[in-house]
């Protein structure tokens, strides 16, 4: 008997967002339910629970194109039930009365939970693929800009220098951890359900455990240790990890937007010939794609904030809680696919303005090197004394509007401790990036040694 009915739905070569819409479309959702019913029939026939001829007919008819959709829609209006119309549609399509053996033992939640897991398995492949593409872009940026100096900023203000590669390597390491989270949760998430009305398998008889293992293996899923109908931690965990990925990408998008401000002008998203930034201001090259990623990331957080409510199922099934998943989780997947599409575009062609980064290191007139000067002085005067001297010089210089070099030279105690040559050397911002390049190398090596981008 052919099992091609259990193959994943073939997706066209589309943007991830379009692929994800297909994954969570009505057609794919119903086909996953039909795949479940077909797998159940096959294994029940093998175990002598239903006739082989019935299983053959059920498998042959468990395809959307074989069902009478008008009949199913009429059953929707009649039953007001999410699954029964599809079951009746499959029963209606089977010849010779073999439809009597459709859905022989499971409950609605068995089918719908397992169907959603199968949809998540399809979505998961898209996320892993797109995460790899984003990772490759971040890896390239980290390697190319390992030594590109720029201003590090804390609490919105310039602090001391970093390299742009150091910034992107931090993003890269964070995305690598998200990849690890996605891989690690796979055995917990990709399990199905064949346990019946309240999870006891009473309707499946003595061979219930064997049947469950057979059906779920055929569907490419693991077998849980016990019913998880009232235990929604699997779906909650997945939604939260996806939310974390969306939050990281939103953070990256937001920082790119900040660095793209004309007053910084250190990076820019790709802008193609013929692209229009504004309907009324011809000069605008708006970062619209990056902005969209930031916007959707903020929206996605709304769904994630409700996820913990999924955990408070009452008794053995709680429709008021369970049905929330049908909205929250597909929306999280769809929104994350939008964010990932946007950031694949932005990061793959990000314009890095090295000259502007270098010139922005000087906008404070050298004051960003105060820490370095303090430590240089501390070797001769002691750390606390050096801190007080540099603090006084910095405050006077910032209030008077002069350069840091002038402010330091005006203090005879500092002038006596540091020669002009020594002072000029420590006021070069490009040579005060610590071991940022070496940290980049470490992250790059770890990423390349992992299976993530292979």
What proportion of the chain, given as a percentage, has pLDDT over 90? 91
DSSP state, residue 224: -
Most confident listed range (99-113, 262-276, 308-322) = 99-113
* Lowest-confidence segment of 62-66, 225-229, 393-397, 439-443 by average pLDDT: 393-397
Give the torsion sign (CA, 20, 23, 27, 29): negative
Can you give the pLDDT at residue 283? 82
pLDDT digits 0-9 by tens, 141-166: 999 999 999 999 999 999 999 999 99
Identify the band that residue 13 occupies on the pLDDT scale cut at 50, 70 and 90.
Answer: very low
DSSP string, 29-64: HHHHHHHHHHHHHHHHHHTTSS-HHHHHHHHHH-SG
Whole-angstrom Cα distance, residue 213 to residue 205? 14
Confidence of residue 45 (pLDDT cuts 50, 70, 90): very high
Phi, psi of 311 (to 5 degrees): -75, -15
In the predicted model, what is the mean pLDDT of residues 200-226? 97
Higher pLDDT, 91 or 8: 91
Q: Which pTM was predicted?
A: 0.93
- pLDDT-based confidence at residue 276 (cuts at 50, 70, 90): confident
The stretch 298-311 carries a mean pLDDT of: 94
Mean pLDDT computed over 279-285: 82
81: Cβ contacts below 8 Å, ≥ 6 apart = 108
386 has a pLDDT exceeding 60: yes
- Segment 386-398 shows an average pLDDT of 93
Q: What is the pLDDT of residue 4?
A: 39
Task: Give the model's pLDDT for residue 274.
Answer: 73
- Candidates 112, 20, 71, 109; CA nearest to 335 is 20
Residue 6 binned pLDDT confidence (cut-offs 50, 70, 90) = very low
Average pLDDT over residues 365-372: 95
DSSP E strand stretches across 225-312: 267-268
pLDDT of residue 9: 44
Q: What is the pLDDT of residue 271?
A: 86
HEC readout, 351-371: EECHHHHHHHCCCCCCHHHHH
Tell me what pLDDT residue 2 has: 36
How confident is the model at residue 280, as a pLDDT?
A: 84
How far apart CA 57 and CA 50 sit, in angstroms, is: 12
Q: Note the pLDDT tens digit of each residue in 426-445.
A: 999 999 999 999 999 999 99
Mean pLDDT computed over every residue of the chain: 94
Residue 1, pLDDT score: 34
DSSP state of 403: -
Q: Which of 260, 248, 288 is CA-nearest to residue 168?
A: 248
Q: Is the pLDDT of residue 123 over 90?
A: yes
CA distance 258 to 268: 10
Give yes or no for a contact between 170 and 200, defined as CB atoms under 8 angstroms apart.
no
Task: Identify the pLDDT of residue 16.
Answer: 84
* Confidence at residue 360, expressed as pLDDT on a 0 to 100 scale: 98
The confidence band for 281, taking pLDDT boundaries of 50, 70 and 90, is confident
**Residues 324, 303: contact at Cβ < 8 Å?**
no
Which pLDDT does position 3 carry in this prediction?
38
Q: Which residues contact 35 (CB under 8 A, 6 or more apart)?
A: 5, 6, 62, 115, 118, 219
In sequence order, the 6+-apart residues with CB closer than 8 A to the CB of 274 are none
341 pLDDT higher than 90: yes
Strand ranges inside 155-232, DSSP E:
157-163
Asked if 36 and 102 count as a contact pair (C-beta separation under 8 A), the reply is: no
């Amino acid at each position: 008997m052919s099992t091609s009915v259990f193959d994943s739905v073939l997706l066209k070569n589309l943007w991830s967002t379009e692929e994800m819409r297909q994954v969570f479309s009505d057609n794919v959702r119903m086909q996953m339910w039909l795949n479940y019913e077909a797998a159940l029939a096959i294994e029940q026939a093998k175990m002598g629970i239903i006739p082989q001829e019935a299983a053959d007919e059920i498998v042959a008819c468990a395809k959307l194109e074989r069902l009478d959709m008008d009949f199913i829609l009429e059953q929707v209006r009649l039953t007001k039930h999410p699954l029964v119309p599809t079951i009746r549609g499959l029963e209606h399509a089977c010849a010779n009365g073999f439809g009597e053996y459709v859905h022989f033992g499971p409950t609605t939640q068995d089918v719908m939970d397992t169907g959603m897991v199968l949809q998540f398995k399809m979505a998961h492949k898209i996320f892993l693929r797109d995460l790899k593409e984003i990772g490759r872009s971040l890896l390239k940026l980290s390697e190319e800009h390992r030594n590109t100096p720029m201003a590090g900023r804390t609490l919105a203000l310039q602090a001391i220098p970093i390299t742009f590669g150091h910034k992107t390597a931090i993003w890269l390491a964070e995305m690598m951890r998200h990849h690890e989270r996605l891989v690690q949760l796979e055995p917990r998430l990709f399990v199905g359900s064949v346990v019946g009305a309240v999870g006891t398998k009473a309707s499946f008889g003595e061979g219930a455990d064997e049947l469950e293992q057979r059906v779920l293996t055929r569907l490419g899923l693991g077998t849980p240790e016990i019913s998880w109908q009232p235990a929604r931690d699997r779906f909650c965990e997945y939604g939260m990890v996806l939310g974390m990925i969306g939050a990281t990408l939103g953070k990256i998008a937001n920082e790119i937007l900040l660095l793209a401000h004309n007053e910084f002008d250190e990076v820019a998203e790709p802008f193609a010939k013929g692209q229009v930034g504004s309907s009324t201001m011809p000069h605008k090259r708006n970062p619209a794609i990056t902005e969209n990623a930031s916007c959707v990331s903020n929206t996605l957080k709304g769904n994630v904030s409700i996820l913990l409510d999924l955990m408070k199922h009452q008794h053995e099934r709680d429709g008021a809680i369970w049905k929330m998943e049908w909205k929250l989780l597909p929306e999280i997947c769809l929104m994350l696919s939008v964010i990932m599409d946007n950031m694949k575009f932005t990061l793959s062609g990000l314009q890095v303005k090295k000259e502007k980064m270098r010139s922005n290191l000087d906008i404070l007139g050298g004051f960003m090197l105060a820490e370095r000067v303090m430590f240089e002085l501390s070797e001769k005067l002691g750390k606390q004394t050096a801190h007080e001297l540099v603090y006084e010089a910095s405050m006077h210089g910032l209030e008077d509007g002069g350069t840091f070099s002038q402010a330091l030279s005006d203090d005879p105690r500092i002038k006596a401790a540091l020669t002009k040559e020594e002072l000029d050397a420590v006021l070069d911002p490009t040579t005060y990036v610590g071991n940022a390049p070496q940290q980049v190398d470490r992250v790059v090596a770890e990423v390349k040694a992992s299976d993530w981008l292979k």
